[in-house]
């Protein structure tokens, strides 16, 4: 099936239940009518992060408005395991990439953190939210990760949840191999997980000292090559999903 | 150390040995003088993919030319394990990303393959080579991956090396979990590895039949979400490095 014939898939705010009919947002209507060239009666998949995924049909459509009739649930909402990414914003393209790919890789919360070497502390969270929604629509998730407002690194690690490990992805090569750390985590059947990725210039020494002093931090190495911040973020989430997450259907 | 004070690192074609002096390319000279604002006497790291990494100094520099004096080897060449990525070219930005990130993740050969759903079969390999060189310089590799001219998928899998497994990253969810497949591969201490990633629309049925019929193919799943082609490529190489590659210093 090519993408042009697959049903569209949209994130909506409306409640979803059989027989519900509602208007899509004007931008969604324009996209469906003018970009995707869909017509009345065409199928559509809908999710809102609360009611699972539903199949519906386009009940009416014009260039500027469209309504859908919700028909049948196709997937339950389920519960996603908490997967929190603390990342220092980098250049815009790379930040966009982190946010898009992290969504595909199952992140549930994106927390921009301001560090000493952060070269871009003006983060437009509304832009990032739009990217996250589009990625969730495309990768068939039934929830949309939360995008938080940027905060200082020190604030991000204060008031930390009991029992949650913060994996520090250490570009200086100081940590334990990621596969070993995550295999051990999988064996301990941990719940939510959190990761922090530094900026392009790396963490400052005082920041590394802070992170090392936290009783819940665990330093992790991503190998001998110097990864860009965006590559490190994607590699981290990949390893987690492959070894501890839903890429490996386990007894849990 | 911030990037502005770290020694520059350049890929060169010249032989490298103590006492050798040679001119950099005009583009490299311009970059060093005008973008990075370096001066005569500044240190520089050099590699050519044959002689390891060497420290040198800028012996002379002007706006349009620069020469270096090679001083001392900083790292041996070593031998990198073969890591071959067959990928269907996607949109330009995503193709660029695959090539850049694959270099950071240790790929040794990049083979664009033309498939039925390939939406971009005009691949500028000279552009990709420039991206690969820049990524190798930045991530501190001592070799530059080879970029091959695009060929048809069927040609890419004919005349296959004895004993080499081709991992087919199956976006339809049909394969075995990537962590299990790679943990098993690590235990068997395989040599070179090869992976094939499909285009945005996925492989055509006839292509999947061809891949399934190959005695050396192994289908691998990357979890329940639909990953974009670029995400799938990066996730694949990440899992390999984490479990079978040099991110986990092993007894081998």
* Selection from B82, B66, B89 nearest residue B233 by Cα: B89
pLDDT value of residue B6: 76
- Max Cα–Cα distance, chain A, nearest Å: 60
Q: Does A106 touch chain B (CB under 8 A)?
A: yes
Judging contacts by C-beta atoms under 8 Å, the chain A residues touching residue B177 are: 242, 247-249
pTM, two decimals, is: 0.92
Q: Which residue has the higher pLDDT, B213 or A2?
A: B213
pLDDT tens by residue, B56-103: 999 999 888 999 999 999 999 998 889 999 999 999 999 999 999 999
* Selection from A141, A220, A224 nearest residue B80 by Cα: A224
pLDDT value of residue A191: 73
B138–A246 CB contact, under 8 Å: no
Q: Mutate which of A83, A90, A104, A108 to disrupt the B interface (most B C-beta within 10 Å)?
A: A104
For residue B159, give how far its alpha carbon lies from the nearest alpha carbon of chain A (Å): 30
Judging contacts by C-beta atoms under 8 Å, the chain A residues touching residue B117 are: 2
Q: What is the mean pLDDT of residues A54-62?
A: 95
pLDDT value of residue A251: 47
Q: In terms of CATH architecture, what is B83-243?
A: 3-Layer(aba) Sandwich (3.40)
Residue B223, beta-bridge partner list = none
Any idea what the Cα angle at residue B167 is, between residues B162 and B173, rounded to 5°? 150
pLDDT tens by residue, A70-109: 999 999 999 888 999 999 999 999 999 999 999 999 999 9
Q: Any idea where the domains of chain B sit in the sequence?
A: 8-75, 83-243
ipTM: 0.91
Nearest CA in chain A to B137: A226
Token pair of B185, please?
């591969």
Element (H, E) at A8: strand A8-11
Q: Does A141 touch chain B (CB under 8 A)?
A: yes
Length of chain A: 252
Question: What percentage of chain A reaches a pLDDT higher than 90?
Answer: 78
pLDDT value of residue A63: 82
CATH number of A8-75: 2.40.240.20
Question: Taken in order B28, B32, B33, B35, is the CA torsion positive or negative?
Answer: positive
B247–A223 CB contact, under 8 Å: yes
Question: What percentage of chain A reaches a pLDDT higher than 70?
Answer: 96
* Selection from B137, B135, B126, B124 nearest residue B99 by Cα: B135
* Strands across the sheet containing B66-75: B8-11, B43-47, B53-61, B66-75, B21-23
For residue A85, give how far its alpha carbon lies from the nearest alpha carbon of chain B (Å): 17
Minimum mean pLDDT range among B45-49, B123-127, B173-177, B235-239: B173-177
CB atoms within 10 A of CB A219: 18
A226–B138 CB contact, under 8 Å: yes
pLDDT tens by residue, A131-190: 999 999 999 999 999 999 999 999 999 989 988 999 999 877 789 999 999 999 887 877
Nearest CA in chain A to B138: A226
pLDDT value of residue A120: 67
Residue B192 pLDDT > 90? no
Token pair of B202, please?
């996925």
B104–A249 CB contact, under 8 Å: no
Q: Does B36 touch chain A (CB under 8 A)?
A: no
What is the rounded CA–CA span in Å between residue B140 and residue B136?
Answer: 6
- Average pLDDT of the residues of chain A: 91
* Selection from B143, B98, B71 nearest residue B238 by Cα: B98
pLDDT value of residue B252: 41
Banded pLDDT at B232 (limits 50, 70, 90): very high
Q: What is the mean pLDDT of residues B195-206?
A: 92
For residue A159, give how far its alpha carbon lies from the nearest alpha carbon of chain B (Å): 30
Judging contacts by C-beta atoms under 8 Å, the chain A residues touching residue B247 are: 177-179, 221-224
B179–A242 CB contact, under 8 Å: yes
* Selection from B169, B234, B242, B133 nearest residue A98 by Cα: B234
Judging contacts by C-beta atoms under 8 Å, the chain B residues touching residue A238 are: 234-235, 238-239
pLDDT value of residue B121: 62
Q: Which of B104, B223, B228 sits opposite A231 (nearest CB)?
A: B104
């Amino acid at each position: 099936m090519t993408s042009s014939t697959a049903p569209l898939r949209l994130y909506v705010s409306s409640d979803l239940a059989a027989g519900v009919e509602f208007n899509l947002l004007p931008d969604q209507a324009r996209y469906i009518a003018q970009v995707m060239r869909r017509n009345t009666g065409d199928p559509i998949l809908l999710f809102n992060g609360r009611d699972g995924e539903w199949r519906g049909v386009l009940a009416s459509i014009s260039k500027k408005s469209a309504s859908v009739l919700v028909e049948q649930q196709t997937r339950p909402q389920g519960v996603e395991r908490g997967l929190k990414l603390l990342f220092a914003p980098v250049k815009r393209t790379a930040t966009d990439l982190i946010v898009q790919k992290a969504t595909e890789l199952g992140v549930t919360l994106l927390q921009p953190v301001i560090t000493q070497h952060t070269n871009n502390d003006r983060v437009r969270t509304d832009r990032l939210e739009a990217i996250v929604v589009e990625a969730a629509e495309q990768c068939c998730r039934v929830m949309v990760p939360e995008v938080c407002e940027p905060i200082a690194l020190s604030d991000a690690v204060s008031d930390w949840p009991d029992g949650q490990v913060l994996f520090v992805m250490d570009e200086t090569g100081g940590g334990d191999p990621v596969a070993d750390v995550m295999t051990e985590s999988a064996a301990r059947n941990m719940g939510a997980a959190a990761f922090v990725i530094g900026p392009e210039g790396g963490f400052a020494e005082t920041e590394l000292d802070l992170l090392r002093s936290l009783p819940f931090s665990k330093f992790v190495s991503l190998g001998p090559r110097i990864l860009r911040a965006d590559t490190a973020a994607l590699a981290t989430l990949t390893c987690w999903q492959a070894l501890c997450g839903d890429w490996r259907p386990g007894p849990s």
